[in-house]
Amino acid sequence: MLRWLFAGMAATVFLVAAAAWSLKPAPASHTALPPAKPSIAFAPSLSGTEADGEIAQGKGDLQLNQALLMRFDYYLSATGERPLADIMAQIGRDLDHELKPEAAKEARRILAQYLQFKRALGELAKNPAMAGQNLETIRLRLTAIQDTRSRFFSRQEIAALFGEDDQQDNLLLERLAISQNAQLSTAQKVQKLAALDAQLSPAAQQARAELVQHLTLAARIDNARQAGASAGQAGASAGQLHQIRSQSLGEEAANRLAALDKEESQWQSKIETYLAARNNAISTLPLAEQNTAVQKLRDQYFSVQEQKRLGAFE
């Protein structure tokens, strides 16, 4: 759940139809299942990666834990790059490949509930009271997330799927409370924080270290961009960002992120050009001609697949 807390709960909003799609069983005529991990990247952003989460236990039995949600999120992160129907189909192939039929059916039910939960989080994120990163706002946001979660999952499912997240969230809140306690000296804060860390299992310590690494990298990237903007530039240079990322993640990951930066920059430039032309058409043409003119602009600037992403910008 930390990924939602620190992202301001910018959850992806999925269509209700996605839940229905995810419940469709595999065709009965299939005699052989395709590989769960395609040799070609499912989406550009997933190039060089493998699907997260070990979802099977024993011989195809479903293991209901956080790893299952990690597998879902791995493919859902490609929203915008691939149609939602393709994402659901790929998740379904993974489930059918790694699980027994009944276990795959149960995993599809969890997926449907998970999509509805993320959609509800998207609505929750629109509440201005949920914005901010101070301790009380984070507590409020965490409570709201947990309340929303209980609408879609049973207590047993919550414990299995989100238990690890909850433990990390509680630790995070304790750390923030210590760090922001003005009545404690620096030495006292260090002592109390060390005592908290000592209670963690080795796996939890590793998870926390990875979280700190990602947050530190995000902060360094943000500071570099702000420094560039303050100096009258467009932001940090591509070379600066590459250096920061390669120091933290390695050269290969830095190259992948640089490619994504380039794609995003090209996309934003195309969006800005299109919106300027669209606004001009709407302001100068009669109402009866506007829809046709706007569609021509869409066809001019975007592929059919790209046009599905325009709703968030128009």
Instruction: State which amino acid sits at residue 30.
Output: H
pLDDT digits (tens, 9 = 90+) for 230-270: 776 666 788 888 888 888 888 988 888 888 888 888 888 99
d(CA 100, CA 16): 26
Contacts of 275 (CB under 8 A, 6+ apart): 313, 314
- Full-model pTM: 0.58
Tokens describing residue 207: 């998870």
Q: What is the pLDDT of residue 26?
A: 38
Using 50, 70 and 90 to split pLDDT, how confident is the model at 225? confident
| Of 270 and 202, more confident | 270
Residue pointed to by tokens 């590989």: 35
176 closest CA partner among 148, 230, 136: 136
- 133, 81 in Cβ contact below 8 A? no
Q: What are phi and psi of 312, to 5 degrees?
A: -75, -10
d(CA 78, CA 189): 41
Q: Domain coordinates of the chain in residue numbers?
A: 2-27+34-179, 225-312
245 closest CA partner among 263, 220, 265: 220
d(CA 161, CA 106): 14
CB count, 10 Å around CB of 138? 18
pLDDT digits (tens, 9 = 90+) for 65-102: 888 999 999 999 888 888 888 999 999 999 999 999 99
